[in-house]
Structure 1
Amino acid sequence: MGMRLKQIDPKKTAILVIDMQNDFIAQGAPLETPMGRRILPTLQRLLSFGREKGMSVIYTAHVHREDGSDLGRFGDIYPAIAEGAALIDDTPGTEMYPDVAPLPHEPVIKKHRYSAFFGTDLDIILRSKGIETVVITGVTTENCCHAAARDAMYLGYRVAFLSDATGTYDYPDTGYGPVPAEEVHRVTLALLNVSTAHVMTTEDFMKLV
């Protein structure tokens, strides 16, 4: 049970760097995700390895228009977004965190929902490059990374989900008890490893190339 990858062809592989933006990663940011900072050294190592091997590297940025016309239900869910304090397009908060910034030729896909595929041209770009395998990194494990992995699988891509290059935040008690980030992360990985992707460490991924 579960997707298992036995070999990676770098020319047919794309690393998706999901939402490693200042509004998520910077200390004190409106949507701060501390695990996102902890994965930075691992993600940097992966990006260096992937670029050296000839893999495509594609970034996503969760953004919204200043007038809120593309918020949908996010305005109901996240006060920081509803108030215009986070994820407003073309503001410093939506730029990639400097430690993992894209190279000039690496595309940044702007999206308005959790999934990098919903309402974007990501699938067109991947197919034009001949990509068969996508590697999921970034934040947050259970939302945008999970959604990208699911949609990638639905569209026929093989999915590698890197357990030590993804991360999330603590969940408050909304009636079901608080959930620490580590537990959200662990449970999401367990589910994905059965239903959607091959969950593995960055080191194990690199051994498949």
Structure 2
Amino acid sequence: MGLQINHIDPKKTALLVIDMQNDFVASGAPLETAMGQKMLPRLKDVLEFSRTKGISVIYTAHVHREDGSDMGLYEEIYPSVADRACLIDGTLGTEIYPEVAPLENEIVIKKHRYSPFFGTNLDMILRNQGIENVAIVGLTTEDCCFAAARDAMYRGYKVAFLSDVTGTYDYGDIGFGKVPAEEVHRVCLTILGGSTAHVMKAEDFMQKVEGTEEVEQV
């Protein structure tokens, strides 16, 4: 049946906001992801709820050095990365989309691979905060969100994967036919729900959070 999370303690939970950067979300961006735009209202609700309940909000941003020294095979996989058209650290494209930008006191983890745990101090930060559960939102379902969920599970965190606050883009034909974004998303949710995480909607997540005390924002 897969992992089941019945109750969520906000003090032991972190919301991981994966790669909601201009390069993925902004209209006309090199890696524009239409599902990212569509889920913005729900993401805003989840962010406001999490901050009010005292859930730790941590952002990630996928970035690379302009000299390519940390790109690895991404240059071969993504032409726009090879051309330095996106994901170059310090450029406007790598900043978090303004509508869902982090608060001044919220952490942004810069990462260089799909997983936010690979080559970063995210695990150290989560453990230092006493985090036991992570809720994953953002882009894209099959790459960075999927990798985040898997790596979190490997490290013993219980993962809530929010199905209506994650998304992806259409895939072209590489010999198996074109795959629309909604189908990629559906299949990945099915795989994650059976092997890695409790897949749930934003409303379900908020209902599972324990306690009703609100946290004053600083």
Range into which the TM-score falls when normalised by the shorter chain: over 0.9
Q: How far apart are the structure 2 equivalents of 1:34 and 1:97?
A: 14
Name the structure 2 match of 1:168.
168
Could you tell me how far apart the structure 2 residues matched to 1:181 and 1:172 are? 10
AA at the equivalent of 2:167: G
Q: Secondary structure at the match of 1:138?
A: strand
Residues matched between the structures, number: 209
- The answer for unaligned runs of 5 or more in structure 2 is 210-218
1:57-98: per-residue Cα shift (whole Å, max 9, x none)? 000000000100001000000000011000000000000000
> C-alpha distance in 2, partners of 1:51/1:134?
14
How big is the alpha-carbon RMSD for the aligned residues of Structure 1 and Structure 2? Answer: 0.4
Check if 1:57 corresponds to 2:57.
yes
Distance 1:179 1:127 in 2: 38
Map of 1:66 onto structure 2: 66
Aligned to 2:105: 105
Deviation, 1:174, is 1.0
Pairwise CA distance, 1:53: 0.3
Give the secondary structure class of the aligned counterpart of 1:5: coil
Partners of 1:83 and 1:176 lie apart in 2 by 27
Which residue type is aligned with residue 165 of structure 1? V
Partner Cα distance (1:72, 1:89) in 2: 15
- What is the distance in 2 between the residues matched to 1:139 and 1:103? 19
Q: What SS does structure 1 have at the residue aligned with 2:188?
A: helix
What amino acid sits opposite 1:110 in the alignment?
Answer: K
Question: What SS is found at the alignment partner of 1:37?
Answer: helix
Partner of 1:139: 139
What CA distance in whole angstroms lies between the structure 2 residues aligned with 1:85 and 1:138?
Answer: 21
Distance 1:98 1:181 in 2: 24
Distance 1:99 1:180 in 2: 26
| Residue aligning to 2:117 | 117
Q: Counterpart of 1:42?
A: 42
Structure 1 residues without counterparts, runs of 5 or longer = none
1:74-85 matched pairs, under 5 angstroms: 74-85=74-85
1:159 counterpart SS class:
strand
**CA distance in structure 2 between the aligned counterparts of 1:138 and 1:107, rounded to whole angstroms:** 16
Runs of 4+ residues deviating >4 angstroms: none
Please name the residue that 1:155 is paired with: 155
> Percent of pairs identical after alignment?
69
Other-structure match for 1:96: 96
Post-superposition CA distance 1:115-148 (Å, at most 9, x none): 0000000000000000000000000000000000
Residue 49 of structure 1 deviates from its aligned partner by: 0.3
**1:167-206 equivalent positions in 2, closer than 5 A:** 167-206=167-206
TM-score, structure 1 normalization:
1.00
In structure 1, C-alpha distance between the alignment counterparts of 2:98 and 2:25, rounded to whole Å: 10
Map of 2:212 onto structure 1: none
Q: Distance in 1 between matches of 2:79 and 2:176?
A: 20
CA distance in 1 between partners of 2:36 and 2:20 (Å): 7
What is the letter of the counterpart of residue 142 of structure 1?
Answer: E
| SS of structure 1 residue aligned to 2:160 | strand
